[in-house]
């Protein structure tokens, strides 16, 4: 229910709640492995690139060793990689970090990355 409320406020709240506060509240839901893949998708849609390091920790955590979560993390990084620096969607440093993390995942888990790339739609 909390995730639905955050999504509703993001879409229809017309700025009543600051976007950074909504992102922060959504990040809290990453602590729940049963919601993590859905949360990661929303954080990518909301251009919340601050969680990249945390997602890399989650990727290697036993509690989150679920294919859908791993694919969501790969897709998150792919979306970050395509984000527009000039439009202010991502910073140069965040873009470089996304590229670095994605390259690392290609090395340690090429099968998952390949599957995520195969079914990735812009």
Q: How far is CA 56 from the centre of its chain?
A: 10
- Residue 102 CB-half CA count within 13 A: 21
Pull the structure tokens for residue 55: 């997602």
The 10s digit of each residue's pLDDT in 66-113 is 999 999 999 999 999 999 999 999 999 999 999 999 999 999 999 999
pTM higher than the cut 0.85: yes
């Amino acid at each position: 229910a909390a995730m639905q409320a955050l999504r509703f406020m993001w879409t229809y709240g017309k700025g009543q709640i600051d976007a950074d506060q909504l992102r922060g509240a959504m990040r809290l839901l990453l602590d729940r492995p049963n919601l993590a893949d859905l949360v990661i998708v929303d954080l990518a849609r909301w251009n919340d690139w601050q969680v990249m390091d945390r997602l890399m920790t989650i990727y290697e955590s036993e509690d989150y060793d679920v294919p859908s979560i791993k694919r969501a993390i790969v897709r998150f990084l792919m979306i970050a990689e395509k984000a527009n620096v000039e439009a202010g969607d991502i910073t140069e440093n965040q873009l470089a970090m996304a590229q670095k993390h994605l390259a690392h995942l290609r090395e340690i888990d090429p099968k998952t990355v390949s599957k995520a790339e195969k079914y990735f739609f812009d």
